[in-house]
Homo-oligomer: A and B are copies of this chain.
Amino acid sequence: MAKRRADGLSKEVIVQAAAAILDDGGEAALTFRALTARLSTGYGAIYHHVANKSDLLAAATDAVIARVMGDAVAEGEPREALRTVSLGLFDAIDAHPWVGAQLSREPWRPALLEVYERIGGLLVALEVPERALFDAAGALVNYVLGVAGQNAANARLLAAGQGDRSAFLATVSAKWASLDPGEYPFVHRAATQLREHDDREQFLAGVDLFLAGIATLRG
């Protein structure tokens, strides 16, 4: 009933197809039925190469992160290199929102090892004292993944709700502005900035804040 395929069906091929489906239609679009259709095969063939859906998602996520860490060469001044690496991760997760969701569901993936190594190494180059190194690296990685994940959630929200970003921000901003300034002074005041802010720049501002804090540890 089943001939051996001319194209080799391997885990890599399956993972690549899964990533394509995820990029096209988001997490909800990735089903084994959609996979069998795209690969013109059956469930058995897929399950022969992949343990289950979690395994598939994890492998696809690892592939994306590994590619980002391979592409983003971090040379030169450590501070600038840290910003470059962070932005690379942010952009990748922004482009593939499902990666953000997966990383907040399953940390400790092998792919994150590369991230820790890269960021930790750059902190060493920044001469962060030994005792603070581990905490600083953890905080920075968590910040990067956390913000990128939140940003990815927004991206997914917008993709699903078919509104564009500025319209969405205008709505939320209007809601913030309409709050009682007595009860919500800060949020009321921040409404304008919310509407006009750039996610990428705000992310970088956070990274800089971190680096400024880390700089106070030196010596």
Contacts and interface: CB of A to CB of B under 8 A. Distances in A.
A154 B112 CA distance: 14
Contacts of A135: 197, 202, 205-206, 209
Question: How many of these chains are in the complex?
Answer: 2
Q: How large is the interface on A (under 10, 10 to 19, 20 to 34, 35 or more residues)?
A: 35 or more
A211 B133 CA distance: 17
Interface in A90-110: 100-101, 104-108
A39 interface: no
A143 B206 CA distance: 9
A213 interface: yes
A124 B187 CA distance: 12
Given A143-B139, A205-B135, A211-B213, A186 B105 contact: no
Interface stretch (A63-71, A77-85, A144-152): A144-152
A186 B150 contact: no
Contacts of A215: 216
Interface in A182-207: 184-187, 190, 193-194, 197, 202, 205-206
The list of the 5 closest CB pairs from A to B, nearest first, reads A146-B146, A139-B206, A213-B213, A120-B186, A212-B213
